Amino acid sequence: MTKIIGLTGGIGSGKTTIAKYFKSFGIPVYIADDEARKIMQSPEIINAIKNTFGEDIFENGILNREKLAKIVFNDPEKLKKLNIIVHPAVKKHFELWLIENKTFPYIIYEAAILFESGRYKDCDIIVTVTAPIETRLQRVLERDKTTRELVLKKMEAQWSDEKRIAKSDFVIENIALDAAKREVDEILKILKIKQKHT
């Protein structure tokens, strides 16, 4: 039976970088945010978003993600509505992907809102990636060319590190990447030992 490792962390924690390092060991990785982005381009989801948020957030038929982000991260109710549209489609897509990868002992399910969405309940092991808030802010500002205000809004919409850590099996502090990679190596050693005893 394939074990699901839930990998999470706040925006800018570097969890995708950590996910890629896990992948380098041949572990299949599902990046929920990337898949959600693709799913949001499907006609069915686009229609649902149009019906809920209006035509204004589309430019030449293409969803303006920045506009949508400003709407949902300023209004928790609207964020909830967006999640109701997108999450079930991502869940269905992941379940099919899991079947395709069922021969692997472990797979990684990487999601920023693993706890908030309730998806953590489907995971056998949970790994949280942390980093200081200022470090995270700088990473996101460099990566997304967005505003500090919007990044802080996104942070507020997510669980705090303390809350995540309390429900996690492992924690990786991702300030210096080499040190974070060593923590991944340790987790993999522990999992190998556990595997032998099951």
Q: What is the pLDDT of residues 58-101, one digit of tens each?
A: 988 889 988 999 899 899 999 999 999 999 999 999 999 999 99
Q: Spelled out in words, what is the top-level CATH class assigned to the domain 3-196?
A: alpha beta
The full set of domain ranges for the chain reads: 3-196
Taking the C-alpha atoms of residue 191 and residue 171, their distance in angstroms, rounded to an integer, is 14
Q: What is the pLDDT of residues 109-126, one digit of tens each?
A: 999 999 998 999 999 999
The answer to the question of whether 15 is labelled as a binding residue is yes
What does pTM read for this prediction?
0.91
3-state secondary structure 59-87: ECCEECHHHHHHHHCCCHHHHHHHHHHHH
17 is in an annotated binding site: yes
- Consult the annotation and say whether 168 binds a ligand: no
Is 13 marked within a binding site?
Answer: yes
